[in-house]
């Protein structure tokens, strides 16, 4: 059985002018010890998805579907049970560590907090565990006495990772964990997360707008467009032989790692992602698609098998052996 299973997950924000369908019927699964990357342009619904998994969304978000962690539906559990699950079974590392750390408390106290709250350690055991965790994320134990402002951005992000690891969860969700950091530090922190989850057999759901980074770190990839998964499969295959033209364009989107340019439209793709309140008819990607057929304007094909453990939501997927080379010319 999968450790994490998203079953037809949808999230709709209610705003003054109507409803924003931010995530639309996403089904994904993640095995124990596996790393799944979720990639897409800004606004594709990645963060909403991540927050929905641990019920961290604001009240104006309506969440439908199921989020099964080891068979137990997170969306249906009591608040008491949810509090027990957060940190201890599943934890999240957010974009930009400044949101996750309290400026007035020392680092050590903050890392120890989930351990103490969940009754997993007594204060002296927690102190030892904090030292061990700091070492695991590449910081000296004396940093426990520092305040967040005394650390660099990369060091703060390492502290967030230590917090996420503290209770030895089975799942870590990392939402653009390195966005605010410079390139060198980004690569180090991402690799650190990957190494630590692999070493401890933790499952990882990592979110990024950068497909090439995820392809390096993850076993499987899911590509999101307009709130939906449009392609999913083994990381190397999705990166090198994407079947969906949007995934193909993302794979060619350089420069990569966190450069602001890569937050813009992927290279070769004209236009903007659709406004979720005014989605195009048919395939939501068809107005930007270089290989769209007439039928794509009316036919919303949805995900279909596109190989071994692969799916793609494109009329071309799995049909044309020449798709790979054809798209390369068209999209890149
Ligand atoms: N609190 C909110 N209220 C209304 N709409 C929201 C809210 N949060 C997000 N949205 C909308 O939901 C859609 C998905 O946003 P989300 O932040 O999940 O995308 P994302 O792929 O994570 O983008 P980014 O990479 O920029 O973080 C967007 O259209 C966004 O404007």
Q: Is the CB–ligand 1 distance for residue 262 below 6 Å?
A: no
The Cα 93–Cα 202 span in angstroms is 14
pLDDT at site 97: 55
Nearest CA, atom 3, ligand 1: 13
Q: Is the CB–ligand 1 distance for residue 88 below 6 Å?
A: no
Q: Is the CB–ligand 1 distance for residue 241 below 6 Å?
A: no
> How many helices and strands, by DSSP H and E, does the chain display?
10, 12
Delimit the domains of the chain by residue range. 4-89+169-331
Question: Ligand 1 centroid to 63 CA: how many Å?
Answer: 14
pLDDT at site 262: 39
Nearest CA, atom 29, ligand 1: 43
Cα 312 to Cα 11, 57, 166, 235, 241, distances in angstroms: 21, 28, 37, 13, 12
- DSSP tag of 252: T
The Cα 323–Cα 294 span in angstroms is 18
Q: Is the CB–ligand 1 distance for residue 10 below 6 Å?
A: no
Q: Does domain 4-89+169-331 have CATH number 3.60.10.10?
A: no
pLDDT at site 186: 81
Burial 140-174 (b: 16+ CB within 10 A, else e): eeebbebebeebebbbbbbbbbbbbbbbebbbbbb
Which residues, listed in sequence order, are joined to residue 10 by a DSSP beta bridge?
64
pLDDT by residue for the chain (332 residues), tens only, comes to 799 999 999 999 999 999 999 999 999 999 999 999 999 998 999 999 999 999 999 999 999 999 999 999 999 999 999 999 998 999 998 876 556 788 999 999 999 999 998 889 999 999 999 999 999 999 999 999 999 999 988 889 889 989 999 999 999 999 888 777 777 788 888 888 888 888 999 999 999 988 888 998 999 999 999 999 999 999 999 999 889 999 988 887 543 444 433 344 455 677 888 999 999 999 999 999 988 999 999 998 899 998 888 999 999 887 644 344 444 444 43
Closest C-alpha to 238, from 250, 254, 226? 250
Q: Is the CB–ligand 1 distance for residue 298 below 6 Å?
A: no
User: Which ipTM score applies to this complex?
Assistant: 0.94
pLDDT at site 263: 40
Strand 220-225, strand 203-208: pairing: unpaired
pLDDT at site 109: 95
pLDDT at site 209: 86
- DSSP tag of 279: P
Q: Is the CB–ligand 1 distance for residue 166 below 6 Å?
A: no
Please choose from 48, 63, 209, 277 the residue to mutate so as to test ligand 1's pocket, defined by most ligand atoms within 8 A of CB: 48
């Amino acid at each position: 059985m999968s450790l994490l299973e998203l079953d037809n997950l949808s999230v709709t924000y209610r705003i003054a002018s109507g409803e924003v369908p931010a995530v639309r019927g996403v089904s994904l699964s993640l095995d124990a010890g596996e790393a799944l990357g979720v990639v897409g342009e800004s606004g594709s619904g990645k963060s909403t998805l991540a927050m929905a998994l641990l019920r961290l969304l604001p009240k104006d978000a309506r969440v439908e579907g199921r989020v099964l962690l080891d068979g137990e539906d997170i969306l249906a559990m009591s608040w008491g049970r949810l509090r027990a699950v957060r940190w201890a079974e599943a934890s999240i590392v957010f974009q930009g560590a400044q949101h996750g750390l309290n400026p007035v408390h020392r680092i050590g106290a903050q890392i120890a907090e989930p351990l103490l709250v969940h009754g997993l350690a007594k204060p002296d055991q927690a102190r030892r565990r904090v030292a061990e965790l700091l070492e695991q994320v590449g910081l000296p134990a004396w940093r426990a006495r520092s305040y967040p402002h005394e650390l660099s951005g990369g060091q703060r992000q390492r502290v967030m990772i230590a917090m996420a690891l503290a209770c030895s969860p089975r799942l870590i969700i990392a939402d653009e964990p390195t966005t605010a950091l410079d390139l060198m530090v980004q690569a180090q922190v991402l690799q650190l997360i990957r190494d630590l989850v692999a070493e401890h057999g933790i499952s990882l759901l990592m979110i990024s707008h950068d497909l090439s980074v995820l392809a390096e770190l993850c076993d499987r990839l899911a590509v999101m467009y307009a709130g939906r998964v449009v392609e999913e499969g083994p990381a190397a295959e999705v990166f090198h032989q994407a079947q969906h033209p949007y995934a193909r364009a993302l794979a060619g989107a350089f420069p990569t790692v966190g450069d602001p340019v890569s937050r813009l439209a992927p290279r070769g793709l004209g236009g903007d992602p659709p406004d979720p309140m005014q989605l195009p008819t048919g395939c939501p990607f068809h107005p930007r698609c270089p290989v769209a057929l007439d039928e794509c304007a009316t036919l919303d094909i949805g995900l279909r098998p596109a190989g071994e453990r692969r799916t793609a939501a494109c009329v071309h997927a799995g049909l044309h052996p020449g798709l790979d080379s054809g798209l390369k010319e068209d999209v890149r």
